[in-house]
Amino acid sequence: MTRLQLALASCLVLLVARPAFAAGTPAGTIIPNTAQVTYTVGGSQVTTPSNTNTITVDERLDVVVTLQSPPLPVQGGDTRRGLLLRVTNIGNGDEVFSLAMTSAIAGDDFDPIPSIPAIYFDTDASGDLSAADTPYVAGSNDPLLVADAFVTVIVANDIPTGLVNGAIGRTRLTATSKTGAGPPGAIFAGLGKTGVNAVVGVSGGVANAVGVYVVSDVSLSNVKSATVQDPFGGSEPVPGARITYQIVVAATGTGTAANAVLDDPIPANTTFVAGSLRLNAVALSDAADADAGEFIAGASPAIRVRLGSLAAAAGNQTIVFQVTIN
Amino acid sequence: MKIVKGWFLASALTLVAGEAPAADPGCIVVQNVAEMEQLTSDAAGKQSVKLVPATKVVPGDTVIYTVKFRNRCDKPADNVSVDNPVPEHMVYVADSAIGPNTDVSFSVDGGYHFGKPETLRKKDADGTERAARANEYTSIRWVMRHALAAGAEGYARFRAVLE
């Protein structure tokens, strides 16, 4: 390799390894530079300034879209399910962006159905789709973002019916610089802020992010049964007889029921038997304390058992308690 | 050296155009240019890099500043030094300052003090002193080791990245 080739190779690296700056020096900024040379001739010192060269900062068109929502659990037949995304102008000048959504994406299990309208601004900053949110209308309210500013956008889709649990559907939001998009380095002469050139940045002036819907059905079933023991060794529900209730809770489906709690009232004309509460054969104290269960006294007495996050894999949860007939 | 002479032809033309109308240029004629590397591909797809004037840049671009100087008198100039500030919004690229037969020093206080990199200190926000970083240099000074002979020329160059 000759010295010239070496020099070229190192220059190429410099061009390719251009760092990604957020925003950076504003478009239209003028950067002057003047050097000076000082020397002595014949014993006297002279200082000579150079000419001043001037650089004008062009507008760089760069945008990024980031997904703000984790995969969203949905059920077949849901409507207007919103995913939150953020469109950020990472260029260095004011820029208007057009938005587009598509839910026909290959490689997922189902195509969500775009709601009408499908794109909203999170006007009330609630983080979810609500009545106050303004629908996006292409060409009418395209967002104008100053350098480094962002706008929060919600995309809404309906979920088809007849899907299996765990099925995944994707939707994509794309933001495109209205000045233009193209290969990085492409120049739109005079179209930048204050008439400077607009230069396409590393993003190409266009960016997207993909959100995910996950069909996640879960339902809890509970089956309650009772056995009676009377004081005479029989099973007659007479005063003084003891009733043992058993409740079996189970989750079905692919989802997880978060913070599942079972409350069961003590029937009228009966009295809870202190210390009789069990979860999966493990005794639970009557007090409201660190264990999973408690007896709630008062006008409407009840037992309460906190089952935590419950998925089908956890199997049956068996709760037992006893009352006596008054 | 042929290439260097070519530069000065260009500089003379610029002077005629009236860009640097110094009242008395003295013995040393100075020209300051800002350039960028431009990657071009020919029809065969072979890529090459050339320097083009940097009139328009975007954040992240690297600009190459070159101060060219020539002694036009018939006697040598002694103690020749070139000072060039790193412009506002630009960040000096480490180890990029070069100039034939010169010693390079830097300033982190706007050109008040100059020193070798290892002697330069900066204070952090909490007051602790530390070695200055190359991206904190505010000015660069090139001092020629020898006199600049009659008719001789030289240059002082550095790279900076637009923030």
Task: Kindly report the CATH number assigned to the domain that includes residue A228.
Answer: 2.60.40
* Cβ neighbours of residue B118 closer than 8 Å, sequence gap 6 or more: B131
| Average pLDDT for B11-25 | 43
Domain with A113, as residue range(s), is 60-215
Same domain, A198 and A229: no
Same domain, A154 and A225: no
3 state SS of A82: strand
Predicted confidence band of residue A310 (pLDDT cuts 50, 70, 90): confident
Cβ–Cβ below 8 Å for B37 and A11: yes
Cβ–Cβ below 8 Å for A56 and B48: no
Same domain, A71 and A154: yes
Nearest to B30 among A41, A42, A48 (CB): A48
| Residue B99 CA to its chain's centroid (Å) | 8
* Cβ neighbours of residue A69 closer than 8 Å, sequence gap 6 or more: A83, A84, A85, A211
Which of A34, A39, A44, A45 best probes binding to B when mutated, by most B CB atoms within 10 angstroms? A39
- Inside any domain, residue A93: yes
| Average pLDDT for A14-39 | 73
Interface A:B, Cβ pairs < 8 A = 153
**End-to-end Cα distance, chain B:** 34
Same domain, A151 and A202: yes
Give the integer Cα–Cα distance in Å for B155 and B4. Answer: 9
Q: What is the pLDDT of residue A44?
A: 87
Cβ–Cβ below 8 Å for A35 and B67: yes
Chain A: residues touching B (Cβ < 8 Å): 8, 11-12, 14-15, 18-21, 23-25, 29, 31-42, 45-46, 48-60, 92, 196-197, 199, 201
If you measure CA to CA, which chain A residue comes closest to B140? A35
Same domain, A204 and A222: no
- Inside any domain, residue A104: yes
Cβ–Cβ below 8 Å for A14 and B62: yes
3 state SS of B67: strand
* Complex ipTM tops 0.90: no
Last residue of a domain, one of A190, A215, A240: A215
d(CA B57, nearest CA chain A) in Å: 5
- Inside any domain, residue A20: no
If you measure CA to CA, which chain B residue comes closest to A41? B77
| Average pLDDT for A154-170 | 90
Same domain, A242 and A298: yes
pTM for this predicted structure: 0.65
Cβ–Cβ below 8 Å for A49 and B85: no
Predicted confidence band of residue A2 (pLDDT cuts 50, 70, 90): very low
Give the integer Cα–Cα distance in Å for A158 and A10. Answer: 53
Into how many domains does chain A fold? Answer: 2
Cβ neighbour number for residue B10 with a 10 Å cutoff: 12
CATH code (residue A107)? 2.60.40.10
Query: pLDDT tens digits for A247-285?
Result: 999 887 766 777 788 999 999 999 999 999 999 999 999
| Average pLDDT for B117-123 | 91
- Inside any domain, residue A196: yes
Supply the mean pLDDT for chain A: 88
- Inside any domain, residue A64: yes
Nearest to A34 among B14, B32, B47 (CB): B32
Same domain, A285 and A209: no
Which of A51, A194, A196 best probes binding to B when mutated, by most B CB atoms within 10 angstroms? A51
Last residue of a domain, one of A215, A233, A259: A215
Segment A116-125 long-range contacts (CB within 8 Å, at least 24 positions apart): A117/A156, A118/A155, A118/A156, A118/A157, A119/A153, A119/A154, A119/A155, A119/A156, A119/A173, A120/A82, A120/A153, A120/A154, A120/A155, A120/A156, A121/A151, A121/A152, A121/A153, A121/A154, A122/A84, A122/A152, A122/A153, A122/A154, A125/A152
- Inside any domain, residue A273: yes
Give the integer Cα–Cα distance in Å for A175 and A87. Answer: 7
Answer whether residue A18 shows pLDDT above 50. Answer: no
- Chain B residues in contact with A15 by the CB 8 A cut-off are 37, 39, 49
3 state SS of B133: coil
Cα B85-B28-B154 angle, rounded to 5 deg? 70
Supply the mean pLDDT for chain B: 85
Q: What is the pLDDT of residue A304?
A: 94
d(CA B54, nearest CA chain A) in Å: 7
d(CA B22, nearest CA chain A) in Å: 8
What is the β-pairing status of strands A282-283 and B47-53? unpaired
In the 8-state DSSP scheme, what is residue A143?
P
Which of B58, B74, B107 best probes binding to A when mutated, by most A CB atoms within 10 angstroms? B58
Same domain, A228 and A257: yes
- Inside any domain, residue A280: yes
* Cβ neighbours of residue A160 closer than 8 Å, sequence gap 6 or more: A76, A77, A110, A111, A112, A113
Cβ–Cβ below 8 Å for A14 and B69: no
Q: What is the pLDDT of residue B16?
A: 39
Same domain, A210 and A274: no
| Pick from B31, B100, B21: nearest CA to B72 | B31
- Inside any domain, residue A4: no
Note whether A192 and A29 are within 8 A (CB). no
Note whether A57 and A31 are within 8 A (CB). yes
Same domain, A125 and A181: yes
Last residue of a domain, one of A193, A215, A237: A215
Lookup result for tokens 């929502």? A69
Answer whether residue B5 shows pLDDT above 60. Answer: no
Same domain, A179 and A266: no
Answer whether residue B45 shows pLDDT above 60. Answer: yes
Query: pLDDT tens digits for A86-144?
Result: 999 999 999 999 999 999 999 999 999 999 999 999 999 998 899 999 999 999 999 99
Cβ–Cβ below 8 Å for A39 and B14: no
If you measure CA to CA, which chain A residue comes closest to B48? A8
Q: In DSSP terms, which residues pair with A48 in a beta bridge? A: A37
Note whether A102 and A111 are within 8 A (CB). no
Same domain, A167 and A88: yes
